[in-house]
Amino acid sequence: MEIKTSERMFRRQLQPNKAHKFLYCGIEKAGSTFWRRLLQYVQLGKVQTPYRIKPELANAYYVDISKSNLLEVLGVLKSFTKFIFVRNPYTRLLSGFIDKIYSPNPYYWNKIGMHAISLARGITNTCGHDVSFKEFVEYIIHSNNNPKSRRDVHFIPAHQLCLPCYIQYDFIGKIESFEKDVLFILEKLNLTQYLPVLRNFKNQSVFDALYDVSHTFIEFRKEASKCLSYEESLIRTWRKLQLRGIIADEINLPFSYKEAENITEEKLLLTFINANKQSQKFDLRSQKLKYLIDAFSTLSLHTLDKLADVFMIDFKIFDYNIYPAFIFQNKNISSQDIV
């Protein structure tokens, strides 16, 4: 039994722009932070790269229509150009796990981690910080079929968030071809003035990711220490960048763990940047693929089948392989599937 998304949740994903008559529906872990920042500048009439806005300020000028008159919302849906960005459900789910559960993040440990551990182990007095990927996936399957379970937009199927079965979107971009699709949609929306500021797309996005990880570590360092030592939090943060294919496995933390308690955000960011530069001589894409395979190899075929059922509609309507070799057979791998 699939849980239906509330109308209000759907509305909260919407970001309209009345001046240019377009509507973006954001799907978390599928480029939503990028688009919400870019649309801030469009809303303000400023031509700047969205990466100048810090990730934590992505919703600073968010236009909330969740409480708008239903007729007004229907009018927007009918007359505006509509677009979304989607992602392979498997890589989206793993990305969410690494970013929100594995990485030191007390907010999501409390919101999702504690409930996942309670379901898997029958333990309630826990921080929720040590959830395995297997336990996390089992909770996602459980929560999708149980109305009383705690859910979060980062892990809800895309079709439940933006309702493409009921709304005809004019453009559907994909994370797997993100840069190309972003430029295409900007042209279609007559926003070509933003094309020049996105020329250095890849380097800007990597720096943005490094800033976000360093900022998040500093922000949560003290609160996370209730569950993890500063050393353990720093190890997980470094590991997160290796799991994402940003820092090579061969690059070690260049300072002692004792510095973790007092290290500044600036020094941590500089350390990440230097490590990323040193990592360019290694095959980061293959490294990321290896960790993807390793994560899903911990799941039984029965669990994989149930997970596929949860995201079945996403697979079908967005044209993703339900049973990819890199998860189900571990052979004939196509690197195009890994983002």
Residue-wise pLDDT for 319-332, tens only, equals 999 999 889 875 34
How many domains does the structure of the chain reveal?
A: 1
Question: Which pLDDT score is estimated for 332?
Answer: 42
CA-closest candidate to residue 80, choices 211, 2, 168: 168
In a domain, 136, yes or no: no
- Give the integer Cα–Cα distance in Å for 24 and 168: 12
Domain contains 82: yes
**Is there a contact between 39 and 25 (Cβ–Cβ < 8 Å)?**
no
Rounded Cα distance between 18 and 72, Å, is 12
Q: Is residue 237 part of a domain?
A: no
Handedness of CA 190, 193, 194, 198 (dihedral sign): positive
Q: List the domain range (segments joined by +) for residue 23.
A: 7-87+155-201
Residue type, 80: F
Give phi and psi for 130, each to the nearest 5.
-115, 35
Examine residue 265 and state whether it is found in any structural domain, yes or no: no
What are the φ and ψ backbone dihedral angles of 51, each rounded to 5 degrees? -70, -5
Domain membership flag for residue 277: no
Give residue-wise pLDDT tens across range 215-255. Answer: 999 999 999 999 999 999 999 999 999 999 999 999 999 88
- CB atoms inside a 10 Å sphere around CB 262: 9
Q: Tell me how far apart the alpha carbons of residues 292 and 10 are, in angstroms, rounded to a whole number.
A: 30
Q: What pLDDT digit, counting tens, does each position of 63-101 carry?
A: 767 677 767 777 778 889 999 999 999 999 999 999 999
| Two structure tokens written together for 91 | 């890589």
- Which of 146, 155, 62, 160 has its CA nearest to residue 111? 155
117 found inside a domain: no
In a domain, residue 230? The reply is no
For 234, the token pair is: 């720093």
Of 39-53, 64-78, 248-262, 310-324, highest mean pLDDT? 310-324
Determine, yes or no, domain membership for 270: no
pLDDT tens for 97-132 read 999 999 999 999 999 999 999 999 998 888 999 999
Torsion, CA 293, CA 295, CA 299, CA 305, rounded to 10: -60
